[in-house]
Amino acid sequence: MARSWRACASVPEKRHSALRTCAEDACASTLEIAFRYCDPHGARGAPGANPNGSLGDIAGISNARGNVIGMMPHPERLSEGVLGGEDGRRLFESIVEAVE
């Protein structure tokens, strides 16, 4: 089930278009898109929803088996109230639920 949550993202100063194109091609052939940037309602393409301008609003990818994931947002930075919010905590809780 698709859900949205607020997450922190560290945005690099430069974007490398050749690398981005290569990454998009790799996703289409060997990787799975695990996360996409969206607004609080789940709509993609909204202004400010994609902080780094990634192609296809891709925020995270996984290998075909789904046991390795890489992602740009940092849910750990919003996993406790003292850090400014708990939205990221749900990602970690869902991982625990999946393996129990």
Could you list the pLDDT tens digit for every one of the 100 residues in the chain? 455 555 555 444 444 444 455 555 555 556 688 888 888 888 888 888 888 888 888 888 888 888 888 888 888 888 888 888 888 888 888 888 888 8
Q: 84: left (phi > 0), else alpha (psi -120 to 50), else beta?
A: left
SS3 96: helix
- Alpha-carbon distance 58 to 73, whole Å? 10
pLDDT the model gives residue 99: 85
State the residue for tokens 């905590």.
89
pTM of the full structure: 0.64
Torsions phi, psi of 7, nearest 5?
-140, 155
Q: 77: left (phi > 0), else alpha (psi -120 to 50), else beta?
A: alpha
Nearest to 73 by CA among 2, 10, 24, 29: 10
- Alpha-carbon distance 67 to 35, whole Å? 14
